Amino acid sequence: MDNVKVNALMIRATDYGENDKILTLLTAEAGRITAGIKGVRKAGAKLKFAAQPFCFAEYILAERGGRYTVTQASECESFYELRCDVNKLYAASSVCEVAAALSYEGDDASAIFYAAIRSLSAMCNGDESMELIKFLVFVLVKSGYGIGLERCTECGASLVGKEKMRFDMNAGSFTCWECGDGYGTGGATYNALRAAEGRSHIASLVTDEAKKRALKLLKEYIVFKTDARCASLSEYIRLI
């Protein structure tokens, strides 16, 4: 039996047997790793923290026949604040949900891993809606599904000041309302996405409602491009 040491973010946990769980861990170097962890559903279990949502820790895994079991863990950050507010809880769960959908076992997931850690940290005491939008826009780019936030892809006109436009789900790009035939959207949504990417935008349009609409568009796009269900993201959008 070999031991493997990884720095990982716990992104999903499933009950297994009477007292165990199966964890999905996100690592920078090896993408997703599935590992069992024994006895953590018992009161006072030593490694209970390692199976908590958003636990960022150094995990020691015993490997046998291609299967992993958590034997030790040393916590780096619990992101406890995210579990004390229902909106932040679902926003953070959305980060983990999308990170799981866009990462793969055995692949380099360093960009998604570090973006997730940064996002969860910023959400603890900040605007979780905007941090979630930033995370989603960034990881979509890194996963090859980047959203085009330049000019209209048909006529080349600037879209920043327009009230109505369209979004092409296939191309992941915006057009003027008259130029395309995609998903109808508005200038507030577009400006919120540009703000998240650090581009020039009309700040007065980036309201709470604009961020909600931007998240709705991102959810629809992620569902369209992947097999992700986005249950946590759907619930977060419902809450805000």
CATH 1.20.1440.120 domain locations along the chain: 85-239
This prediction has a pTM of 0.94
Q: Enumerate residues 6+ apart whose C-beta is below 8 A from 150.
A: none
- Give domain 85-239's CATH architecture: Up-down Bundle (1.20)
- Encoded amino acid at 115, one letter: A
Instruction: Identify the bridge partners of residue 26 per DSSP, sorted by sequence position.
Output: 9, 32
Cβ contact 59:40 at 8 Å: no
CATH 2.40.50.140 domain locations along the chain: 2-77
CB atoms within 10 A of CB 2: 8
- Encoded amino acid at 187, one letter: G
Tell me the three state secondary structure of residue 21. strand
CA distance 74 to 47: 9
> Does the structure show a pLDDT above 90 at 3?
no
Specify the DSSP class assigned to residue 238.
H
CA distance 9 to 29: 12
Tens-digit pLDDT profile for residues 62-98: 988 889 999 999 999 999 999 999 999 999 999 999 9
Q: Which of 5, 8, 4 is nearest to 76 (CA)?
A: 8
Give the per-residue pLDDT at 66: 84
Query: With b meaning 16 or more CB within 10 Å and e meaning fewer, what string describes 91-129?
Result: bbbbbbbbbbbbbeeeeebebbbebbbebbbbbbeeebb
Annotation: CATH topology of 2-77: OB fold (Dihydrolipoamide Acetyltransferase, E2P) (2.40.50)
Q: Enumerate residues 6+ apart whose C-beta is below 8 A from 93.
A: 53, 232, 236
Tell me the three state secondary structure of residue 214. helix
Token pair 């568009």: residue: 217
Q: What angle do CA 110, 113, 114 make, to 5 degrees?
A: 85
Tens-digit pLDDT profile for residues 124-180: 999 999 999 999 999 999 999 999 999 999 999 999 999 999 999 999 999 999 998
Q: Enumerate residues 6+ apart whose C-beta is below 8 A from 206.
A: 188, 191, 192, 195
> Does the structure show a pLDDT above 70 at 1?
no
Tens-digit pLDDT profile for residues 183-217: 999 999 999 999 999 999 999 999 999 999 999 99
